[in-house]
Amino acid sequence: MRLPTRSAIPAILGLLSGLALVSPVAAGVPSVAVEDAVRFCETGLRPVTGQSERQTREQRLNCIVLIDSVVGTVAQLAVLASGNEAVPGRPIRAVFCLPSGVDYPELAETFVAFAQANPDYKRRVAAAIVVAAFAARYPCR
């Protein structure tokens, strides 16, 4: 998996300026922190010793719900923005483009690897870092 260089991270996060890239407490709205999302995605993909099958399923489901929510929201925003232009003559393009056939385990691994490679963002809102991870891994061409 190709992860972005540290110098590319600010540019990717710049794409997300409309999302809450502050800590959940500072945002004043309920959200999932990156460190929590990494934990439930990891334990859903790779159960820890002593973890029950039920706990593994619940953690996997939590991860899928987070990813699915982010992907669905970004897709809806892309549809809403499709008729707009940030600069005259230049239409707004999608933040990321998932290839056909990509599955939730691969998306979860992409998020977890990105979050672990960028520990400075562990207290950020998980949804924003999911978008940054996917923008880095699955850019639109």
- The confidence score (pLDDT) of residue 92 equals 66
pLDDT tier, 131 (very low <50, low <70, confident <90, very high otherwise): very high
Residue found by looking up tokens 């870092």 in the block: 129
Domain coordinates of the chain in residue numbers?
A: 6-137
pTM above threshold 0.75: no
DSSP 54-96: HHHHHHHHHHHHHHHHHHHHHHHHHHHHTT-EEETTEE---S-
**For residue 23, pLDDT beyond 50:** no
pLDDT at res. 141:
78
Report the pLDDT value the prediction gives residue 6, as an integer from 0 to 100.
45
Mean pLDDT of the chain: 79
Q: Is 96:19 a contact under the CB 8 Å cutoff?
A: no
